[in-house]
Amino acid sequence: MKKLLIGLAIVVLLLVVIAVAAPFFIPAGVYKDQLVAQVKSATGRDLRIDGPVQVSILPRIAIEAEKVSLSNAPGAAEKDMATLAKLAVQLQVLPLLSGEVAVDRFVLVEPVIHLEVDKRGRPNWQFDTAGGGEKTPAPKDAAGKSAAPALQELRLGEVKIENGRITYLDQRSNARHEASEVDLAVKLPSLDAPVNIDGALVWRGKRVQLTAKADRARALLESASTPISVKLAAEPVSLGFVGTAALPALSGDVQLDVPSVRALAEWVGTPLPDSGSGGLGPFSLSGKLNAKDGKYAFADARLALDQIKATGAVEADTTGKRPRVAGKLAVENLDLNPYLGPETGPASKPGAPADKSAPPAASGWSEEPIELAALHAADADLDLSATGIRYRKITVDKGAVKVRLADGKLAIDLTDLALYKGQGTGKVTIEDRKDRPALALSFKLGGIQAEPLLRDAASFERLTGTGSLEFDVAGSGKSQREIVGSLDGKGALSFTDGAIKGINIAAMVRNITSAFDPSAAGTQQTDFSELAGTFTIAKGILSNNDLVLKSPLLRVEGAGKVDLPRRTVDYRVTPKAVASLEGQGGRADLSGIMVPVIVRGPWDNLSYQPDLGAAIGQQLKDPGSLLQRIPGVQAPGTSGAQQPAPAEPKSPAPKPGDLLRGLLNKN
């Protein structure tokens, strides 16, 4: 036995001496040729080693080679798929006998890797065997599972990529991406020990850092669950995850922070149009994430975009042709203005002369092209409740909002609204059509205060009162002004206990001269008990023919047009002084003295002029009616019982001309 052991020891020692001495006696070209042949057989690609090669077998397999390159797939844009300034590999020998792989060192120095997808959709990292033949399928056991030997253990010592460069080209879309200054370090003592990954690269001029840790590497390879943590940090975005993974599924807490959504979109190559309102700035998202097969769910979600904050639950599905987002959120303050673009056209420079050729108030609508391409980026189905909503100048105290986005069409249903001390519902639809973006508005409001609503909605401050308003309009166009000029629809209004500012119709009936005194316009107003009417809109022109105002001793009828694109008014008001104290609910068709008023001009600077010709013509048609309105005068044909007993001889009957002059001027 002793001699046997001594003989075995001599044999082992001889093998070690041969393994150590072999590289000194066997030409390096032999190793190089064998390595090139093996790579060709395994991948179908050509391996070139243009620099020196060093190979040793014991105490570990060690290979160092310089100027290494691997050829690319046929038809690829680049000649080589990968080039290396230096490759260094050290692999322990004895663990291989027990099915273990122990890598002491694996270093790629200055690798340049070109990843590419050809026009048929085939990636260049899909390799063929030599001669392009089919790969031999792995053997299977009786149960149909792969019978290939399983990896029992893997130990990684120094695994590094130093100063690498990776490019990606998709020939189908000609999309190109490149990452430079790629550094990566991996530490794995064993498959049952934690694995640590630290890396960094530069993409689109920004440095991206990655750190990752998994408690059990074996669990990742076997799709079993293991605790992990991942953090990706760059100037435009920061993403952190702490939880468990059973790849490709994830479950845990996520934190996403984006200093500027616009800056992030520009960084990834999809810049967003500038609204000019500063929207799409900081964004953050946190919550409990469950991700599997391209579907993501956030529970206990907290979102913040600019000044908008929300809580709730959100789901995202990225498996379709467009991402789809659904969820329920409670929003503290939904301010839409930063995402709507400018309300008016570009302002004139200070000191610049006014353009006298432009129509009055035409600059009130923007002519900037409307960009709605973002509506095609995703589909959405969201239920929102908001403690406050702001759209342009319109403010809503609270409300429930349903948002539906599909195929470039955004529908916003506003239900249970509380606004301007009243209640209401509404719907806004925005659609990105290829030729002309479309807008539709439908609102029904009740118990609202007219003055603040009209001021915020249309910069109109001439009407006060409490009432209801409903309208349904739609338009399309490439700019805000084009949309306003195309509006079609209808509506109705009804107000009580209010006033029309800027004119006193009752005083006008008594004395036209003082009623239209421009110096008194700021203090003039016509009080009413009831004001109602309907309107239609055709190609941006609002028409009304049935406006009725009622108050004691006064009835007013109105008809005319409002040119929405030009923001001008051309309206005729016909007041009547009547012998009735009835206001709300009173008859509107009572006879009386009528003095029509013409209302014209831009709606932020209206002018009021009496239609004297119409007033005189109307009264000359019925002189008797005129005489009835003059105290102490009886019209012909009236009953003598209605006359007061004369206390003294009657004065001569006044002439019609004198009566009209007295009506129009107290003097």
Instruction: Compute CA distances 91 → 34, 156, 162, whole Å.
Output: 18, 10, 19
3-state helix/strand/coil string of 180-194: EEEEEEEEECCCCCC
Cα–Cα dist 212/198, whole Å: 7
Closest CA to 549 of 516, 513, 506, 510: 506
Overall pTM surpassing 0.85 (yes/no):
no
In this structure, of 217-226, 424-433, 473-482, the range with the lowest mean pLDDT score is: 217-226
Specify burial of residue 532 (Cβ count, 10 A radius: 0-12, 13-18, 19+).
middle
Q: Where are the domains of the chain?
A: 1-123+152-190, 492-632+657-667
The answer, yes or no, to whether residue 10 has pLDDT greater than 70, is no
Closest CA to 604 of 658, 647, 561, 566: 566
Cα–Cα dist 270/268, whole Å: 6
Closest CA to 49 of 68, 30, 71: 68
Quickly state the pLDDT bin for 585 (edges 50, 70, 90): low
The 8 Å CB, 24+ separation contacts for 542-550 are 544/571, 547/573, 548/588, 549/500, 549/505, 550/582, 550/583, 550/584, 550/586, 550/588
Cα–Cα dist 567/497, whole Å: 27
The top-scoring range by mean pLDDT among 97-111, 268-282, 444-458 is: 444-458
Structure tokens at 520: 């008194």
pLDDT tens digit sequence for 600-642: 999 778 887 877 666 556 555 555 554 444 444 444 444 444 4
In this structure, of 137-151, 374-388, 529-543, the range with the lowest mean pLDDT score is: 137-151
Cα–Cα dist 276/342, whole Å: 6
Cα-Cα-Cα-Cα torsion 257, 260, 264, 270, nearest 10 degrees, comes to 140
Say what the pLDDT of residue 640 is.
45
| One-character DSSP codes across 350-361 | TTPPP-TTSPTT
Query: What is the chain's mean pLDDT, rounded?
Result: 79
Residue keyed to tokens 């260094």: 88
The answer, yes or no, to whether residue 663 has pLDDT greater than 60, is no
Say what the pLDDT of residue 631 is.
43
Say what the pLDDT of residue 355 is.
44
The answer, yes or no, to whether residue 87 has pLDDT greater than 60, is yes
Q: What is the mean pLDDT of residues 640-647?
A: 45
In this structure, of 119-133, 313-327, 492-506, the range with the lowest mean pLDDT score is: 119-133
State the first-to-last Cα distance of the chain, in angstroms, to the nearest integer: 150
- Asked if 51 and 68 touch (Cβ cutoff 8 Å), the reply is yes
| One-character DSSP codes across 99-127 | TEEEEEEEEEES-EEEEEE-TTS-BTTS-
What 8-state DSSP symbol labels residue 482? Answer: H
- Tell me: cis bond preceding 248? Omega within 30 of 0 counts: yes
What 8-state DSSP symbol labels residue 654? Answer: P
Cα–Cα dist 208/205, whole Å: 10
pLDDT tens digit sequence for 396-411: 888 888 999 998 899 9
Structure tokens at 158: 């120094």
Q: Cβ contacts of residue 200 below 8 Å, gap of 6+?
A: 181, 182, 183, 207, 208, 209, 210
Instruction: Compute CA distances 467 → 426, 509, 571, whole Å.
Output: 16, 27, 22
pLDDT tens digit sequence for 232-262: 999 999 999 999 999 889 999 999 999 999 9
Quickly state the pLDDT bin for 340 (edges 50, 70, 90): confident
Q: What is the mean pLDDT of residues 408-428?
A: 90
Say what the pLDDT of residue 519 is.
59
Cα-Cα-Cα-Cα torsion 341, 344, 349, 351, nearest 10 degrees, comes to -160
